[in-house]
Structure 1
């Protein structure tokens, strides 16, 4: 065969392979037996093995593709020495398999992935008789086929059957999300071919507006939906004519045959299918259901999600004795690079992904403190989950010194190739090069420390550790130290005050002390010009308003919120959880909150500027809406002195 025999659209890609193999004076192209002891290769034997032999591949073109796969992954340090040795053991049976069944194929891309079944049978016949060896060999073969097919495929990523997050511009993936191979790709290969383009088009519509994990979970549920109907002998075209009867069968299967699923998962398996079907119908997809979805899936079909109070009960705090042991022994972690990550988790209460998302070029900032006449250190990061472009929180001087040392080391080790995104905690080589350190590896490292130091819970069991428990624990510490709930919300980067309240509990003793200190009620007002406290003339109009205001605060379960007080009855759910309290009828605000408004307005203006600089137009628009609401409320407060929509009716009720 000559190179002209390769399809014209594959020629240039195959020529790239040849050029790549010509490196090191053509050593890789000219030799079918690579010597591990060569300086251009490993430089030594691996467990007494010296050669990798490709001569078992009789088809020259397939042989060069396999060589390219091994060399590329070696050069990019995606394969460890042990992985290279494992691969060398599998070459001979793979070569024999391809030579026997696909000797006339010009390229590996002409071989379907279902060849793995045939390959498994061939491997058994060639005396690979252990499940472990068989699975490793099939895994290497599958990896090889996927790699080569992806190399030749020049289509847009969203036109392919497998999408990699790194190849889709604007995808919303957390810093740690791509560490796991399962998390950095979505595969449509299990979706029936007849509906594959429909599902791909739907995923494409949400891939840059929803999180990557949401898209993975959505595809998994849609795949389960189609699999159910095809297993039950439904044919291509069933979706267009789907009926209420068909949906009832699916709902019965989900709710009665999946008893291991929690309430939230049961909810998603029906609610997300409803959302999918509604969308493709409204968007007039060719293969959308003909009957209106509200005649097919009823609101009562969708199981209720888990009660928020149950979720709150699951919030887990690290017990104080265990926390002290961890803090005292953390310097003994067997992987020292994870020590600063743990310290920042303890110091800030941020999520693990927020810490991993820190960048060495802008994560530490000094801000002048007028009152203390000195610069204070702030940790700066993007909180992707709640859309905060740049959150700045103060950190202690010793912690700042530690961060600075990590920054200096990251600058020294980083290049445009091994750390293009300037991660503070970066992986500098290997398959995950350019990605942050693994959150899972930090967890495993801490677990090994717990075993080494024999840290046990009250039941005498080795403590089961969760990174997110540090976040809950830090929130509780903030409250017990007397920090206001709205400040804690800002530090933790929560979207709603309600979420902060869920996490921010206190011990009974601390609760008693705080209650005791605030039991005595004093009436006062703040002069907005001097910020001084003034006595109130109780006979004046302002005095009457303030008496009523303070009475309600004390007797009607009022809760302090940003810019004012919430008079919502404690048993009622908060309808403003995902909105600002400023628009809530239970909210009350007075002139004493004016400085808060002015400070927040300046803060939001800065956030708008930052969002624009970061190219986050959606965040900028949301902040502009919030800014208009703040400025309007401030104007009304200055005019009316006190604002409370429910007024006297709440007090008199």
Structure 2
């Protein structure tokens, strides 16, 4: 922030301070007039006191303006649900030390906006060390609560800053139009102050390109991992400008430091520290940022550097799918939920397989559409919603008419109850009164309601214990049902809103019952039969038409590619390489090429090199090898063309042809 901008912000300071006073005057002036806030009061929205500490005590802060700014930090973040109750309670325990510190160093200061951050943090840390706190190896104070105090300063200074949100060093989700906030909450902010000043504008510029494309949670993850990247390099005495001059050796050092820091973490955890950094560096290089690496990123960070993300097989198997007997009991008893407003949410979870946050994020004005079906000559109902996790602005999936009728009833009810004041976001499943007015029904409340139903109906698992229900298990279960019904995996991917097919494949398992049914179907092929009396295999009658066809089918399936090609099907042996697949006409005896074709060779060579790079980065080793073979053939042929001018059949020069 340059000096001119600081002056602009401070010139507006008085009017902004008046906004703070106006905000504290809410609830009949309770927040402004009282220096001790009773957390058991309904005004404080039901926060539970921690360790029997009933009050948040601001009375020790002698500077009245600073006191009001601290009060504003607490109540604004509480009312806007930007901080959890637990965090508010923990932070309240710091006020004794914080007040004494402010009284010692800032008794005459007019505002937190006039305090220089670095000096504040330095003084506060030294003050705590003088008062018995210890310094940890990571250079932080041995108190999570006290390390959070500088955030108060950041928040107040950000409040006084009237610039465009993306120009600031702290971005609040509520101030960024188009930010992808899940309906279940998770607002908060993204703080760039930990990014070195030299690179801060570069990182902020990059985030402007992704902040409305990726979910807010995803952006939080990215800034966290980029922050580690900068911290570790600067911690190793690298200086401003190191990114521009990055070498492969630097990246190898980074990988070494990373693996040492997180040697106890799995591959999935560590992969993000590399993949997020690579994506960032690739983008700023392609976009030609001034501070981008000079060396091509693909030569700095290799695909093999990124550990393959792994799924814990035991976790996949652990109650991810709702067992069929329990699913039937839930479906049959869901109408008895003690909070009926959650019934349609459960039904939509079962019907669609969407995430709970996606269902809660539905809007009554655009969540149901009728789309014409040419084949059936009728309109079909589609559920329409935003999938914030994968950045799908509007996903439309078909739903049954009965479910559509239920959705329409919910739409009618929402329209009847909603006003601009109690439901400005037009949520289909909205809270219309109380402290959470204008927010969607909470997923946690749905969980608790279903758990009460499970207890009431005595729904138990195979071990005789009350079933432990999770909403996400309905998503897995629905995906499995789609598979068992024979739906194509790519269609399932689209319905579930998955970003990659690989994620969908994790759900694509079938139950033991379905496996049995499929196995029974294979008996109809009569390739063999079991004599139940002798337990011996009976031979298939190959002389019959059915037996001959089935054997031919099995042979094709196991030994031939059976690939669809233009004008027919290729039945080449699966182990036999296809000469036409990669080499085109280059190896054909009738092929002729001359120097006129050199530009075509050069263009094709560049294209194939890119294909090899893509194949290697995507882990497609087979296609990478095939393309390398093709590339060598192209380069060898080009060399011969340049030397011999013309090549035909037997390779002899035909310059006089």
> Fold-level match, TM-score > 0.5?
yes
Alpha-carbon distance in 1 for matches of 2:298, 2:93:
58
| Worse overlay, 98-107 or 75-84 | 75-84
Alpha-carbon distance in 1 for matches of 2:345, 2:247:
53
Alpha-carbon distance in 2 for matches of 1:188, 1:438:
30
Please list every run of 5 or more consecutive structure 2 residues that lacks an aligned counterpart in the other structure.
Answer: 1-6, 134-141, 526-548, 576-580, 583-657
Structure 1 pair 465/374, CA: closer, same or farther in 2 (3 Å)? Answer: same
Alpha-carbon distance in 2 for matches of 1:323, 1:195:
53
Instruction: Report if aligned partners of 1:36, 1:43 keep a CA contact under 8 Å in 2.
Output: no
Q: Which residue is equivalent to 2:360? A: 356
User: What's the offset of the Cα at 1:330?
Assistant: 4.3
| Secondary structure, aligned partner of 2:263 | coil
Instruction: Report if aligned partners of 1:263, 1:304 keep a CA contact under 8 Å in 2.
Output: yes
Q: Which residue is equivalent to 1:278? A: 282
Structure 1 pair 366/246, CA: closer, same or farther in 2 (3 Å)? Answer: closer
User: What's the offset of the Cα at 1:103?
Assistant: 0.6
Structure 1 pair 106/436, CA: closer, same or farther in 2 (3 Å)? Answer: same
Q: Which residue is equivalent to 1:215? A: 219
Q: Which residue is equivalent to 2:257? A: 253
Structure 1 pair 85/263, CA: closer, same or farther in 2 (3 Å)? Answer: closer
| Secondary structure, aligned partner of 1:379 | strand
Alpha-carbon distance in 2 for matches of 1:284, 1:367:
44
Q: Which residue is equivalent to 2:13? A: 10
Q: Deviations over 1:386-422 (max 9, x none)?
A: 736351422353x455545544553454332342221
1:323 to 315, 323, 327: 327
Q: Which residue is equivalent to 1:226? A: 230
Structure 1 pair 105/321, CA: closer, same or farther in 2 (3 Å)? Answer: same
Q: Which residue is equivalent to 2:630? A: none
User: What's the offset of the Cα at 1:107?
Assistant: 0.2
1:381 to 385, 408, 416: 385
1:439 aligns with 2:447: no
| Secondary structure, aligned partner of 2:222 | helix
2:159 to 151, 159, 181: 151
Alpha-carbon distance in 1 for matches of 2:28, 2:358:
46
Q: Which residue is equivalent to 1:588? A: none
Q: How many residues align?
A: 526
Alpha-carbon distance in 2 for matches of 1:302, 1:35:
50
Q: Which residue is equivalent to 2:419? A: 415
- Listed as ranges, the matches of 1:611-650 within 5 Å are none
Q: Which has the larger radius of gyration?
A: 2
Instruction: Report if aligned partners of 1:76, 1:430 keep a CA contact under 8 Å in 2.
Output: no
Q: Which residue is equivalent to 2:396? A: 391
1:288 aligns with 2:270: no
Q: Which residue is equivalent to 2:647? A: none
Structure 1 pair 198/165, CA: closer, same or farther in 2 (3 Å)? Answer: same
2:475 to 471, 474, 479: 471
Alpha-carbon distance in 1 for matches of 2:111, 2:485:
67
Instruction: Report if aligned partners of 1:77, 1:431 keep a CA contact under 8 Å in 2.
Output: no
User: What's the offset of the Cα at 1:188?
Assistant: 1.8
Q: Deviations over 1:303-324 (max 9, x none)?
A: 3444999998899422213323
2:175 to 164, 167, 171: 167
Instruction: Report if aligned partners of 2:101, 2:124 keep a CA contact under 8 Å in 1.
Output: no
Alpha-carbon distance in 1 for matches of 2:487, 2:318:
24
| Secondary structure, aligned partner of 1:217 | helix
Q: Which residue is equivalent to 2:511? A: 507
- Listed as ranges, the matches of 1:486-525 within 5 Å are 491-493=495-497, 503-511=507-515, 513=517
Structure 1 pair 69/246, CA: closer, same or farther in 2 (3 Å)? Answer: closer
Instruction: Report if aligned partners of 2:387, 2:393 keep a CA contact under 8 Å in 1.
Output: yes
Structure 1 pair 164/560, CA: closer, same or farther in 2 (3 Å)? Answer: farther
Q: Deviations over 1:35-63 (max 9, x none)?
A: 989x997899x999999876544323223
Structure 1 pair 80/481, CA: closer, same or farther in 2 (3 Å)? Answer: closer
Instruction: Report if aligned partners of 2:423, 2:430 keep a CA contact under 8 Å in 1.
Output: yes
Structure 1 pair 175/309, CA: closer, same or farther in 2 (3 Å)? Answer: same
- Listed as ranges, the matches of 1:525-564 within 5 Å are 555-556=556-557
Q: Deviations over 1:63-85 (max 9, x none)?
A: 34345456656877989999999
User: What's the offset of the Cα at 1:345?
Assistant: 0.7
1:180 to 175, 186, 210: 186
| Worse overlay, 501-510 or 186-195 | 501-510
Alpha-carbon distance in 2 for matches of 1:375, 1:294:
50
Structure 1 pair 418/380, CA: closer, same or farther in 2 (3 Å)? Answer: same
Higher relative contact order (CA 8 A, sep 6+): 1
| Secondary structure, aligned partner of 1:239 | coil
Alpha-carbon distance in 1 for matches of 2:214, 2:45:
47
Structure 1 pair 321/297, CA: closer, same or farther in 2 (3 Å)? Answer: same
Instruction: Report if aligned partners of 1:116, 1:138 keep a CA contact under 8 Å in 2.
Output: no
Alpha-carbon distance in 1 for matches of 2:554, 2:392:
33
Alpha-carbon distance in 2 for matches of 1:120, 1:569:
77
| Secondary structure, aligned partner of 1:472 | helix
Q: Which residue is equivalent to 2:111? A: 107
Q: Which residue is equivalent to 1:629? A: none
Structure 1 pair 144/493, CA: closer, same or farther in 2 (3 Å)? Answer: closer
User: What's the offset of the Cα at 1:152?
Assistant: 0.8
| Secondary structure, aligned partner of 1:208 | coil
User: What's the offset of the Cα at 1:512?
Assistant: 5.5
Instruction: Report if aligned partners of 1:348, 1:474 keep a CA contact under 8 Å in 2.
Output: yes
Structure 1 pair 322/78, CA: closer, same or farther in 2 (3 Å)? Answer: same
Alpha-carbon distance in 2 for matches of 1:570, 1:309:
35
Alpha-carbon distance in 1 for matches of 2:355, 2:29:
49
1:195 to 184, 196, 199: 199
Alpha-carbon distance in 2 for matches of 1:291, 1:380:
45
**How well do the aligned residues superpose, as a CA RMSD in angstroms?**
5.5
| Secondary structure, aligned partner of 1:389 | strand
Q: Which residue is equivalent to 2:62? A: 58
| Secondary structure, aligned partner of 2:159 | helix
